[in-house]
Amino acid sequence: MRGDWVCVRYLDSRSHAIIQRVLPRRSFLRRKAAGRDIEFQMIAANIDVAFVIQSCQFDFNVRRLERYLVIVREGHIEPVLILTKTDLVSAEKLDELIDQIRGAGIDAKIVALSNVTGAGIDRLRELVLPGKTCCLLGSSGVGKTTLINRLAGGSGLETREVSHTGEGRHTTTRRQLIVLEHGGLLIDMPGMRELGMLGVGAGIDETFADIGELARNCRFNDCSHASEPGCAVRAAIERHELKEEHLQNYVKLAGESAFHESSYVERRKKDRAFGRFVHSVMKHKDRQDGS
């Protein structure tokens, strides 16, 4: 697992080593496994800061950004939002994108930068502290690999030109741990097309804390924020203090997580029941063989 720390014993003048112990994980990044399998997929561990990257040009999507924030915060990782390709939009457009993020109740730190002009790179470099591990998350083509090359002071990782639509093409095919010259650590990973929610209740609560705060004043404890009388969340939307899209994404992610969690628990029950059945059959067989 990328990011795991281990204790090793060196052999042959430090040319070989044996892993003695894997240290406990302080944080983790995981998602529901892609496809129909209701299972966790661990992505990386012991991450201090996750740089969630979106392009100002083609990739910008607040709803997807909220989805990333849920899995990052569920793993006890600090999120930092990176808006790339600022050289392709006007200053007014950049301000508009940032307003959309803040309007969704997202209070994470934002760094706007350009891999072409270098604007914002120094500010980002200051966030990669010595001895700390950071990872880069985002769709293919938003500039993750180019950004790592800039931070590393070279061009050791392969990059590809964007397509004619402006959308990037997939380059990174495996996770890589890169040690920077000043001692900071970066984990580069492939763009994730699916970000399924599974067991992310705490991440949802933190990402949508504004809705949770309003919900405390709803008339009913089990309010679904749909059409119930006395709903404080609906009242905030009517006052234009909360966006309908923000609420709908909260409902969608919470429902998705609850559905997958229920399926996951049910599968685990069936697995345990099958294990007990196999154990019983084998025990009965041993008795027959011994008689």
Domain spans in the chain, listed from the N-terminal domain onward: 24-188, 201-290
pLDDT at 160 over 70: no
Write the DSSP assignment of 223-264 as a string of letters. --SSS-TT-HHHHHHHTTSS-HHHHHHHHHHHHHHHHHHHHH
Q: Which is more confident, 140 or 270?
A: 140
What is the rounded average pLDDT of the residues 117-146?
88
What is the rounded average pLDDT of the residues 80-90?
94
CATH code given to domain 201-290: 1.10.40.50
pLDDT above 70 covers a percentage of the chain that reads 79
pLDDT at 283: 61
What is the rounded average pLDDT of the residues 223-247?
93
Which of these ranges, 5-9, 22-26, 126-130, 287-291, has the smallest mean pLDDT?
287-291
Q: Topology of 24-188 in CATH?
A: Rossmann fold (3.40.50)
Report the distance separating Cα 247 and Cα 235, nearest Å: 12
- Give this prediction's pTM: 0.76
Report the distance separating Cα 261 and Cα 276, nearest Å: 23
